[in-house]
Amino acid sequence: MRFRACLALLLFLSACATSTPPPSTRSTRSQRLANLQRAAALPWADGGQCVVREASQPWPVLVERCYQALDHDRLEFHDTAGRCSVASAGAGAMGIGLCVLVAPEIVVGAVIVLGVVVVAVAIKEAMDAHELRHAYPEEAGTSRGTKVASREAEAQRKLKPEPEPAGQDQQPPVPPVLVDRTGRASCEPVPVPHAGGDTPHNQCADKVPPNRYPGMDVLVGGVRFDALQVGVRVLWEIKTHRFDSYNYFIQKREIETELEQIEKEQDAAAACGYGYVIGVSTQAHKDALLAVLPSLKIVVTGCKR
């Protein structure tokens, strides 16, 4: 009799277990959300794409794989707890920043972010999608998967903003110029879509510095630059004119026009603590600029039109 009672109890518990997601699945979902929320407080140069791709991994694995995607110009790391002095060789190879970030808990003052952090677009979308999925209890039941998918799709359509007018880029909206508390143009770099449709020029701007934000110009101090160089605080202006093919009169007028632009860009870069470089396609163009402004830092890119 006892044997039958125990058998019945085991069968009942087995049936209950099959009606709920396995603990490992629930744990993975919880870990993914926790990683997204933790990463949302950091600035990402890739819009958070790497974080979303690796969010189901343990946090130290995510940090190691996505560390290079951080916007390092806006981050300062301090080993306030003294743990990184005895860090493992793997963490030490990537520097103190990785060692600080992989810690289970970030000590106050260990990570300092310069400027205001706006949650990366990809991370925000992933968190919104997670909340949407868990808004419906049917999600846990595989037999209702079609119903859940249709309800999610309907909710996504309701949440999706109206299409932008024709000609608008699909990049997330950004203000044309950020301002600080004093009302002056902000020195925080703001990526904006490349101006105009000059494909050879834009490809040169992405490839030569190389550009921290491929496909984007950057606003600094209220002035638009063609590129922000990866890994250093250097702004670039790219020129791909066929300068050698112009006659003397046109060359002279071109240099005069460029000098007005260069003066404005140099002032904005210097005021915000950035270096400034001009990229030109030919040596003749470089020589013409240096003849009137010898202090310019100019690089011959060799970019063709």
Report how far apart, in Å, the C-alpha atoms of 1 and of each of 5, 6, 7, 71, 163 are.
Answer: 6, 9, 10, 68, 69
Residue 151: CB atoms within 10 Å: 16
Cα distance between residue 305 and residue 302, in whole Å: 10
Instruction: Give residue-wise pLDDT tens across range 167-219.
Output: 444 444 444 444 444 444 679 899 998 877 789 999 999 999 999 999 999 99
Which range in 144-148, 174-178, 221-225 is most confidently predicted, on average pLDDT?
A: 221-225
Residue 210, preceding bond cis, omega within 30 degrees? yes
Cα distance between residue 269 and residue 225, in whole Å: 9
Q: Is the pLDDT of residue 255 over 90?
A: yes
Instruction: Give residue-wise pLDDT tens across range 18-72.
Output: 444 454 555 666 888 889 999 888 999 988 899 999 999 998 889 889 999 998 8
How much is the pLDDT for 164? 44
Cβ contact 254:246 at 8 Å = yes
For 190-300, CATH number out of 3.40.50, 3.10.290, 3.40.1350, 2.60.40 equals 3.40.1350
Q: Judging by beta carbons within 10 Å of its beta carbon (0-12, 13-18, 19+), is residue 105 exposed, middle or buried?
A: exposed
Prediction pTM value: 0.44
Q: Where are the domains of the chain?
A: 12-121, 190-300
